[in-house]
Structure 1
Amino acid sequence: MPHGPAEVGVGPWEGEWPRGEKYDAQLLAEGDRRNVVDRYRYWTMAAIVADLDARRHDFHVAIENWQHDFNIGTIVRTANAFLAREVHIVGNRRWNRRGAMVTDRYQHVRHHAGVEELAGYLHAQGVVLLGVDNLPGSRPIESLELPRAVCLLFGQEGPGLSPAAHEVCDGTFSIAQFGSTRSINASAAAAIAMHTWVRQHADLDGDHSWRG
């Protein structure tokens, strides 16, 4: 690598090994080079997921996947960073995991055949379904108080939300733009929306968050 350390993570544990079921003996012996924060070094994957589950936020993220959108992996990675409760893939079950950088192992990802199935699942849990759409009639996210229990639905890169998605959404919001381009990248829009929820609802004090 031209910049930064040659390797990520940490090497084998030095000294007496820590005790506890959360630790992975192989990682302690060989080192932990995974894409995880220091809090989770040497932990088993199951222990990490259990700890995340105890702290997950109340927002969900959903992505329509009719054209195998390459943005889905990046959105999953961002959802993991902001600790989304679940990520929902609507449409094709297969999606490009490369951009997720294995964060999908720590994030609950659920598949739905269509948006009607997604809406039914969410509404049964009292979760509001909001789509991102920069067309007239959408509320500006900059002045919108997002519900605590909400699912943020994003369409395909290019065509945006499908007509069927518009029908099942409880509302839509837009992100302010000032340049000449018609729209911003879907994964960028998703990151903005998730961070808006974090700013409005997440506990930013103490050990609840950390800086990457």
Structure 2
Amino acid sequence: MAAEEAAGVECRVVVHNIAKRHNVGTMARSATAFGVTEFILVGRRDFNAFGSHGSTSHLRFRHFHSLTDARLYLKERDSDICGVEIADGAVAVNQHPFRKSTAFLLGNEGTGLSPKECEICDFFVYIPQYGCGTASLNVTVAASIVLHHFGVWAGFLERTRDGNKFVVADRPMKQVRKNYCSETDEAVIEERKIRRENASVSFFDTSGADDSTSNLLDTLFDG
């Protein structure tokens, strides 16, 4: 994709109850390097910013209580959801099977994406390996490779350099707590609206009992 065609194309990262919370900080560092516009946490709101080297100040964080809520938010923004997993029908990431704005869902470091996580994905990519010494990559390494490939496909403009390093933007004036996904009032209102709508639609749907119950309880406590 040419650079002029990349206008409006956004890249997001979605992590769901990631086991090693210190990996979030390292992923945030890669996310800022490769043009990610938003980092979405599903489940736990807190994380360890270790390894981010201050990059969390340059990245927008958003939190959702359930995968269903996160999916609705992304679909409202016309974004595909790409699971990073060796699943049936998965395409090698170096083939760049992207079409538009994309959110990359990365699974637990040990077990990969769960069936519930796979359900919300539109397609899957995997990272080809050429050596025989390991069966899988660390989630932060996998994220870096995939995000770099998306940036190449989208034609993101390369950051300017000063000597042997890339120029870092000034930190935003408003600083947030470094290990907690806080949100703007607008984001909170929007999230509550989505959860209320989900609760009213799926209250009697036993197939989604876990998410529905969570949404209903959150709505009651949020008032």
| Length-normalised TM-score, structure 1 | 0.67
**Displacement of 1:125 after TM fit?**
0.9
Residue number in structure 2 paired with 1:196: 149
**Displacement of 1:56 after TM fit?**
8.7
**Displacement of 1:66 after TM fit?**
4.4
TM-aligned CA distance change 1:69 to 1:147, over 3 Å: farther
Q: Deviations over 1:68-122 (max 9, x none)?
A: 4321111111111122110111111111111222211111011111211111100
Residue number in structure 2 paired with 1:170: 122
Q: Distance in 1 between matches of 2:47 and 2:9?
A: 24
Give, as a single letter, the amino acid of the residue that structure 2 aligns with 1:110.
R
Give, as a single letter, the amino acid of the residue that structure 2 aligns with 1:189.
A
| Number of aligned residues | 155
TM-aligned CA distance change 1:57 to 1:80, over 3 Å: farther
Higher helix share: 2
Give, as a single letter, the amino acid of the residue that structure 1 aligns with 2:44.
N
1:184 to 2:168 alignment: no
Contact 1:86 1:108 in 2 (8 A): yes
TM-aligned CA distance change 1:171 to 1:145, over 3 Å: closer
Q: Secondary structure at the match of 2:51?
A: helix
| Length-normalised TM-score, structure 2 | 0.64
| Percent identity of paired positions between Structure 1 and Structure 2 | 28
Structure number with the bigger relative contact order (C-alpha 8 A, sep ≥ 6) is: 2
Please identify, of 147-156 and 118-127, the stretch whose mean Cα deviation from structure 2 is larger.
Answer: 147-156
Q: Distance in 2 between matches of 1:61 and 1:128?
A: 12
User: Which has the higher Rg, Structure 1 or Structure 2?
Assistant: 1
Q: Distance in 2 between matches of 1:87 and 1:155?
A: 14
Gaps of 5+ in 1: 1-54
Q: Distance in 2 between matches of 1:56 and 1:109?
A: 19
Residue number in structure 2 paired with 1:209: 159
Q: Distance in 1 between matches of 2:38 and 2:143?
A: 14
TM-aligned CA distance change 1:98 to 1:169, over 3 Å: same
Over aligned residues, Cα RMSD in angstroms?
A: 1.9
- Give matches, 1:6-155, under 5 Å: 58-155=10-107
1:161 to 2:109 alignment: no
TM-aligned CA distance change 1:66 to 1:75, over 3 Å: closer
TM-aligned CA distance change 1:202 to 1:102, over 3 Å: same
Residue number in structure 2 paired with 1:6: none
TM-aligned CA distance change 1:77 to 1:134, over 3 Å: same
Give, as a single letter, the amino acid of the residue that structure 2 aligns with 1:132.
V
